[in-house]
Amino acid sequence: MTDTADPTITLQRLRASIDNIDAALIFMLAERFRCTQQVGVLKAQHGMPASDPDREQTQIARLRSLAEDADLDPEFAHKWFTFVVSEVIRHHRSAAEGA
């Protein structure tokens, strides 16, 4: 879908869509972290470990499959998840220290 008459209009439209998607991603990540913070508090209250390697491996396999279905590089999905989980574990450890 391109505007051959004026590519700058197409560029502006595409950039506006990208900006909207970026905003939605930020809000979704914020919601995800609100949920994982609750998990961290629950784990801390019950002396559970901050990380769950079995759950992480299951999620990596699930996300790689979803990425393939979405025509997204599964390795990118894996790297993204690993990055997010490292931050989640950091939050969980902080919650445990404060418990």
What's the CATH number for 7-98?
A: 1.20.59.10
| Percent of residues, the chain, with pLDDT higher than 90 | 85
Q: What pLDDT shows up at residue 7?
A: 95
Burial string for 64-79 (b: 16+ CB within 10 Å, else e) reads: beebeeeeeebeebbe
- Reported as a pLDDT band with limits 50, 70 and 90, residue 97 is confident
**Inter-residue long-range contacts of 82-86, CB under 8 Å, 24+ positions, other chains counted:** 84/29, 84/32, 85/51, 85/56, 85/59
pTM of the model: 0.81
Residues in contact with 19: Cβ distance below 8 Å, sequence separation at least 6, in sequence order = none
What ranges do the domains of the chain cover? 7-98
**Is the pLDDT score of 94 beyond 80?**
yes
Give me the mean pLDDT over the 29-37 stretch. 96
Give me the mean pLDDT over the 29-52 stretch. 94
Report residue 15 as tokens: 């950039």
